[in-house]
Structure 1
């Protein structure tokens, strides 16, 4: 079987005055096209470091990443990265912000412009394209940030606590929007989050990591009984939701 992402025995050590500090130890996972994967684990266990390795921004100490059955850790054009903040330029319009990546790549041709306009129209931002980020809600800003990422046509989206800066109500609404967009565009998503409920509501599979040096403690295939098409919101109403939540909570060994 062919996978879009193959993570092969990744290890990562950091240098310190006291010698090497192991951050990640022997993580392997295979991800199919169109899957939504969530990674949860204790704070400081190396989740964001793993995303940076997948993106090719950090070279692992051992192991390899294979993207699209080809280049190891160097397919940056196949990967889009969304961070905790939207990082929209406040002095630029929404249209200028979402075109930024194409402008940097010198790829602002007619086809790509039309693609971006289509994304703005499809996902409800067309009438706000000449507005500035400060004039938009937090949810709309995050949608704009995703469209900026999608404009470069990545195959894989990495989301690093992409909703953590939002208040709870906005966060619930934005997860609906982002989930819908990712599924409609048939993108492969790998998301790091501390929110167990959020991971269950969005993921096809969840990987639970141990404390540092992190390794995979367990993996869950998420199967929920939803009365309608699955969305993050109605996933929370599924009878299996509480079971997954309790199991993952126990695996994380969270102490209050």
Structure 2
């Protein structure tokens, strides 16, 4: 069964100059552990689509299903990471990671142990008593990811989650995040303006048109390497071909 099924999504909203259609006829599905990148022109509705999938925004038309169940409000099966890590500066790293479990009233011994296991597995346990201001931007983003994974989501939504980082840190963090998500088998959708990032991390790439956004193409990415990493993908001869293809698809919108 598909972990996620998005069916005939349409979104309209009222602006001063009348009704604006943001999304039109958006349909796709995803399997467990799959990573989908979404690219498209600025303002085409990429973040709006994530908000609809998360249940934060009710679409004008269409439906979203997670594990076969229709999403009718904020879904507990979905984790959401934004550009800012939104760590609480007055809480330790350990207490930041536990925050999602606290507000969902899911601080069971089993869930706490899982969160501790994530901290240990991904090299953050030794920093558990430190505060966010004592960590680098890359480590803060890793903490934010572990906090999101601690609630054990079936689906993770990343909205420009790495764009606040400098280039070198961003490369290292995307490598880290990719490894963690593949190891944990979390189905992931990532919105990004960075075409190389979309290629290096995605199993598939959804290319959206200018507003109203429609799906121009869902491109299968295959580097023929079962041990691929975002960094290794950037060195592949196929990388440039994928980049040129997506660039041309997006260029048609200009």
Q: Which residue of 1 aligns with 2:139?
A: 140
Cα distance in 2 for partners of 1:110, 1:21 equals 48
Q: Distance in 1 between matches of 2:136 and 2:123?
A: 13
Displacement of 1:72 after TM fit? 3.2
> Given that residues 56 and 74 in structure 2 are in contact (C-alpha distance below 8 angstroms), is that contact kept between their aligned partners in structure 1?
no
Deviations, residues 136-180 of structure 1 (Å, cap 9, x unaligned): 011110110011101111000000000000000000000011000
Query: Are 2:34 and 2:187, in contact at CA under 8 Å, matched by a contact in 1?
Result: yes
Deviation at 1:255, TM superposition (A): 9.2
Q: Tell me, yes or no, if structure 1 residue 118 matches structure 2 residue 117.
A: yes
> How far apart are the structure 1 equivalents of 2:110 and 2:6?
34
Name 1:238's counterpart in structure 2.
236
- Aligned 1:205-244 pairs, distance under 5 A: 205-226=204-225, 229-244=227-242
Alignment partner, residue 202 of structure 1? 201
Distance in 1 (alpha carbons) for counterparts of 2:86 and 2:241: 36
> 1:75, CA displacement in angstroms?
6.5
Q: What is the rounded CA distance, in whole Å, between the counterparts of 1:31 and 1:109 in structure 2?
A: 30
CA contact 2:41–2:253 (8 Å) conserved in 1: no
Q: Which runs of 5+ in 2 are unaligned?
A: none
Q: TM-score, normalised by structure 1?
A: 0.96
Matches within 5 A, 1:79-158: 79-158=78-157
Task: Provide the residue aligned with 1:30 in structure 2.
Answer: 29
Q: Aligned-pair distance for 1:31? A: 1.0
Cα distance in 2 for residues equivalent to 1:96 and 1:66: 32
Aligned counterpart, 2:165 = 166
Q: 2: CA distance between counterparts of 1:65 and 1:107?
A: 25
Q: Following superposition, which runs of at least 4 residues in structure 1 exceed 3 angstroms of deviation? A: 72-75
Question: How far does the alpha carbon of each residue in 1:220-251 deviate from its partner, in whole angstroms, 9 at most, with x for none?
Answer: 1001144x710000011111110000000010
Measure the CA separation in 1 of the matches of 2:224 and 2:241. Answer: 12
- Number of aligned positions between the proteins: 254
Provide the rounded CA distance (Å) in 2 between the counterparts of 1:123 and 1:84.
Answer: 21
Partner SS for 1:165 = coil
1:10 and 1:60 in contact (8 A); partners too: yes
Residue 14, structure 1, aligned to residue 5, structure 2: no
Conserved? CA contact 1:53–1:73, under 8 Å = no
Which segment drifts farther, 200-209 or 97-106?
A: 97-106
Determine helix, strand or coil for the equivalent of 1:99: helix
